Structure 1
């Protein structure tokens, strides 16, 4: 390849992202080389940048950022049959060892040897060029944009959580937090037929988007106490929810799930909060509530893509800001400082990007 420009965004240490030129990687026999197009900023990226860790994952060495991404296939390995140069793809950013019990039973997201983009010590894909496993790239339908392809990562998180909690026609759901993950849960729940989805947050601009995306009602919980919120949720819905989704990484939200959810219901933990929490488990006992963790996704990308392709889910409104890769530092600062009410910030890696959504 004649082009030598592989500008790459590297988190060198806490609060320091540097742009460096890296060699253009060569795909193995089952891999593809991608021209990276659009990479989103995730909350986990911000945690690594500001704190050097996200939950149990700790930054010890410099790491390439980025895991929500789409790109165009440039070169295929010798054994790749499913893709060809020119294909537009969304990238599932993690793959397991393919040999352990978890991988063989379809729960590869729990593989102890998982290789996941921008999760220490694995490099991410915020670069001009990137090599990854071909079978974890999914072709985008002709009616889907590259930005929508990038958003399949958070939507797959929502799909996985809804499948775990068995959301179905008529389900009543309570989503705590209306950032990209909470909004993705809302979108997936509606696509699965949920009858009513209540969303809470303390930022009005996020709640406004939740309403636009189909929330039954929203509540700004700023300044409210735990049991006060629980009572407000029940009266607003007119009943207790079948499923509650904690998407904020906050112990109060996790506790609320046990206070609010109906007997026999499910509380799903998605937010990466503290490793230890003080919980009212007595409520779980007497109401037989199932509390379950939801970690990333497995085999959920095809459903996420079909939801958007078919028009059952619209993710376009999640995108609020766009930057080129040379502006990565500014993009991260925009997220941190909440400049312009950000929801999802996109970084364009292709040096030929013309400044328009793709």
Structure 2
């Protein structure tokens, strides 16, 4: 997207508006001038944009780790829309096509990109990660190769859900989930739930999910978790909880996905995972943690890092088209695109409660 600034469009053309993050708890719908359409770009009218935990975090704190919002930024990165115009070199899309959008533009020149691990590109330009603008706008311009045509039986909302679903799919690929791997998921928030759905689609025969909240666990059960375990936030309960988790699995725990990323969840994951298994750190709750690494390493428990995703959209769309994954139950709230509704939507998402995925319909 680049860093296009706020300014007014030419008289006579419809003004492109976007949701700008201006300061802590300060979101305003203001004009958003689009960059010119390059030969390999597409201009897309946004139709469905989801709210992610990272969007809420930027709104509350203006930073995530070392990513700091220093100037006004358009928010949003889980999105789908309709192609309005394509550059001269674009062959696979025409105006009117419905597309799901992969939000990160990598450089394609560094060693990581050349090795295919473009999600780790140091030059990554990712929607709504400062200083790059996001996609909660009437229209955006984006490289056409990152726009994936939606099959007829996949809605625009489901297209927008490909972004969070991609995290679960990438995690399952990194962990080699299959028909012989029992899976433990720590955390039944949106990412824990898409990881659960992905693990089942990858063939896992038994999935246990753990959370502190009864309502979230009942959603996980409806989405197909074999067993759920309610835990506390107290680190004094870890040993007893590990036993309850093992009991619920009733067999080896081959892979654990920590979708919360706190000291306690990671400690629980390392202790519960069977010898020779894997723990994948998906969530980013704590920047630093003190965990029982030595005890895990002498049992050859591998720790796998997960950052976003790569080359996941075609598989996500395949899962949605075939019905192997149904993301529709995750969308709990819908809002329009007005100043009032944008503020209400972020409040709903931040409030937790029964909100899983809050979606804008533009």
The aligned counterpart of 2:3 is none
Tell me how far apart the structure 1 counterparts of residues 160 and 57 of structure 2 sit (CA, whole Å): 20
The aligned counterpart of 1:146 is 156
Contact 2:82 2:97 in 1 (8 A): yes
The aligned counterpart of 1:356 is none
Q: Which runs of structure 2 are paired with 1:170-185 in the superposition (5 Å)? A: 170-185=180-195
Contact 1:9 1:20 in 2 (8 A): yes
Tell me how far apart the structure 2 counterparts of residues 200 and 41 of structure 1 sit (CA, whole Å): 23
The aligned counterpart of 2:262 is 250
Offset of residue 121 of structure 1:
0.9
Q: Which runs of structure 2 are paired with 1:13-32 in the superposition (5 Å)? A: 13-32=23-42
The aligned counterpart of 1:165 is 175
The aligned counterpart of 1:316 is 328
Tell me how far apart the structure 2 counterparts of residues 223 and 144 of structure 1 sit (CA, whole Å): 38
Q: Which runs of structure 2 are paired with 1:338-353 in the superposition (5 Å)? A: 338=352, 341-349=354-362
Q: Find 1:125's aligned residue among 135, 158, 161.
A: 135
Q: 1:27 to 1:293 in 2, by over 3 A?
A: same
Contact 1:24 1:130 in 2 (8 A): yes
Tell me how far apart the structure 2 counterparts of residues 66 and 84 of structure 1 sit (CA, whole Å): 24
Q: Find 2:250's aligned residue among 238, 248, 271.
A: 238
Q: Find 1:39's aligned residue among 30, 38, 49.
A: 49
1:333 and 2:347 aligned: yes
Offset of residue 283 of structure 1:
2.0
Offset of residue 89 of structure 1:
0.3
Q: Which runs of structure 2 are paired with 1:1-358 in the superposition (5 Å)? A: 3-222=13-232, 225-326=237-338, 327-338=341-352, 341-349=354-362
The aligned counterpart of 2:5 is none
Offset of residue 284 of structure 1:
2.1
- 1:174-207 deviation line (CA, Å, top 9, x unaligned): 0011111111100010001101111111222211
Q: TM-score, with normalisation over the residues of structure 1? A: 0.94
Task: Report SS of the residue matched to 2:290.
Answer: coil
Contact 1:95 1:109 in 2 (8 A): no
Tell me how far apart the structure 2 counterparts of residues 19 and 73 of structure 1 sit (CA, whole Å): 22
Tell me how far apart the structure 2 counterparts of residues 221 and 266 of structure 1 sit (CA, whole Å): 21
Q: TM-score, with normalisation over the residues of structure 2? A: 0.93
Offset of residue 54 of structure 1:
1.9
Tell me how far apart the structure 1 counterparts of residues 117 and 344 of structure 2 sit (CA, whole Å): 37
Contact 1:26 1:33 in 2 (8 A): no
Task: Report SS of the residue matched to 1:4.
Answer: coil
Tell me how far apart the structure 1 counterparts of residues 105 and 312 of structure 2 sit (CA, whole Å): 13
Offset of residue 223 of structure 1:
5.6
Task: Report SS of the residue matched to 1:287.
Answer: coil
Offset of residue 222 of structure 1:
3.0
Task: Report SS of the residue matched to 1:347.
Answer: strand
- 1:151-188 deviation line (CA, Å, top 9, x unaligned): 00011100000011110013100001111111110001
Q: Show structure 1 runs of 5+ residues with no match.
A: 350-358
The aligned counterpart of 1:355 is none
- 1:245-290 deviation line (CA, Å, top 9, x unaligned): 0111311111111101111111001111222111111122111011
Tell me how far apart the structure 2 counterparts of residues 228 and 314 of structure 1 sit (CA, whole Å): 34
Contact 1:27 1:131 in 2 (8 A): yes
The 4+ residue runs of structure 1 with deviation greater than 6 A are none
Contact 1:8 1:19 in 2 (8 A): yes
Contact 2:233 2:264 in 1 (8 A): no
Tell me how far apart the structure 1 counterparts of residues 66 and 181 of structure 2 sit (CA, whole Å): 33
Contact 2:98 2:150 in 1 (8 A): yes
Contact 1:4 1:23 in 2 (8 A): no
